Amino acid sequence: MITRRTLVQSGLAAGLFPALGFKTAYAATPNDRRLVVIILRGAMDGLSVVVPYGDPAYAPARGKLALDINKDATKVDGMFALHNALAGFSGGYTAGEALAVHAVASPARGRSHFDSQNVLETGGLAPYQYSSGWLNRALSVLPGAQAIAVTTGMPAVLQGPAKVGSWSPSRLPEPNSDLADRISQMYESDLALHAAFTEAQSLNALAKEAGEDKMAMGGGGGKPLTLLGGVAAKLMAAPGGPQFIVLERTGWDTHANQIGALNNSLSDLDGTLAAFKSGLGSLWAKTAILCITEFGRTVAVNGTNGTDHGTGTCALLYGGAVKGGRVLADWPGLAHANLFEGRDLKPTADIRAVIKGVLADHIGIDPARLATTVFPQSAAVTPMHGLMRS
């Protein structure tokens, strides 16, 4: 962590960061930690991922979607069990580097995917209140920090004035090296294009090393995110790799036949997490992966063996820097009287508190900046401290 003292000593403070007032020990420049944000679009059923089997109301309320705790999930304490499709994450839990926060939600209560994803990513209180995302605003208080979206199109969480790189697999053949050189030369007097093309070429080269061709040919083999995660990990681990990477995956909107669908999605997510762990190498110790979704699903099963849009759900945090082996929850209970609007897991934690905790303690952003710039209107939402090892 760079403090004002070390900056002043190195003579950089006045020249490079004249506009910043350093008041605390929190970083105003990037540290060497890494953060991966995976957005699970479609509303993941937290009750099937981190299963509250110890709540006597769970099995009766969940009916035929209640998981068999001896077969479908693995107990991690007297209250919760982890879905067996998350085998790698479970292993991380045992090793003390994976945790879950349960009964969590964004401020959105409308149960619309569009609006709630917008709130989750822009960090406001209402949809479309802000046009930039919270991670882009985090970049704005960390001059020099880099982020890359490994998605098609820029996700809302990274949109905004701070410059962000992007890479996604192409279905078209790229130019050969001769043509690429000629393009690069043609761009020489055009700074913006030259910078973007240079970055694109190095990302493409790294992606190729990481097996992007396999992905383009095989189409992901039913695990679209796992292969992408392998590429993303290589991008992050490369010299000068970005501090932040954002990925996304759809497939969580399990209105029908939830069991099979969730199995597929979770094993893809678990494979992605494993791809990061193996791909990041020694950087894993400095990494946190945060998995968040726009809301949870109804406690009751619907008429098509699925669940409908709900409210409270869980967030997952995994990585060598995470102080894991815990499920954090102020558990509201699943008895009917305890449900939100008589149907959903009642949220008892704000997802912004989780994110603020990670950004403060892992990335080192001053909580005062978090409460004003990164998550405006969140002064009352205290960062959840203690999620990280140090």
* 265 or 298: CB nearest another protein: 265
Closest contact distance (angstroms) between CB of 110 and another protein is: 9
Interface with another protein, residue 74, by CB under 8 A: no
Region from 18-26, 58-66, 210-218, 257-265 binding another protein, contact rule CB under 8 A: 257-265
Mark residues 106-125: x for contact with another protein by CB under 8 A, - for none: ------x-x---x-------
Mark residues 286-315: x for contact with another protein by CB under 8 A, - for none: ------------------xxx---------
Residue that is written with structure tokens 């205290």 in the block:
382
Tokens of 266: 């979770």
Site for another protein in 232-251 (CB under 8 A): 250-251
The rounded distance, in Å, linking the Cα atoms of 208 and 226 is 15
Contacts of 329 (CB under 8 A, 6+ apart): 80, 101, 102, 103, 348, 349
Interface with another protein, residue 205, by CB under 8 A: no
Interface with another protein, residue 49, by CB under 8 A: no
Is residue 260 within 8 Å of residue 284, measured between CB atoms? no
Contact with another protein (CB under 8 A) among 226, 254, 267, 311: 254
Tokens of 163: 């410059």
Closest contact distance (angstroms) between CB of 261 and another protein is: 3
Interface with another protein, residue 64, by CB under 8 A: no
Closest contact distance (angstroms) between CB of 346 and another protein is: 18
* 42 or 332: CB nearest another protein: 42
Interface with another protein, residue 261, by CB under 8 A: yes
Mark residues 125-164: x for contact with another protein by CB under 8 A, - for none: ---x--x-----------------x--xxx-x--x-x-xx
Interface with another protein, residue 183, by CB under 8 A: yes
Closest contact distance (angstroms) between CB of 196 and another protein is: 5
Q: Which of 140, 366, 13, 368 minimizes the C-alpha distance to 4?
A: 13
Contact with another protein (CB under 8 A) among 260, 278, 330, 379: 260
Task: Tell me the number of residues near another protein by CB under 8 A.
Answer: 62
Closest contact distance (angstroms) between CB of 364 and another protein is: 26
Contact with another protein (CB under 8 A) among 20, 59, 79, 196: 196
Closest contact distance (angstroms) between CB of 148 and another protein is: 8
Contact with another protein (CB under 8 A) among 203, 228, 273, 363: 203
The site for another protein (CB under 8 A) is made up of 42, 112, 114, 118, 128, 131, 149, 152-154, 156, 159, 161, 163-168, 170-175, 178-179, 182-183, 185-190, 192-193, 196-197, 199-201, 203-204, 224, 250-258, 260-262, 264-265, 304-306
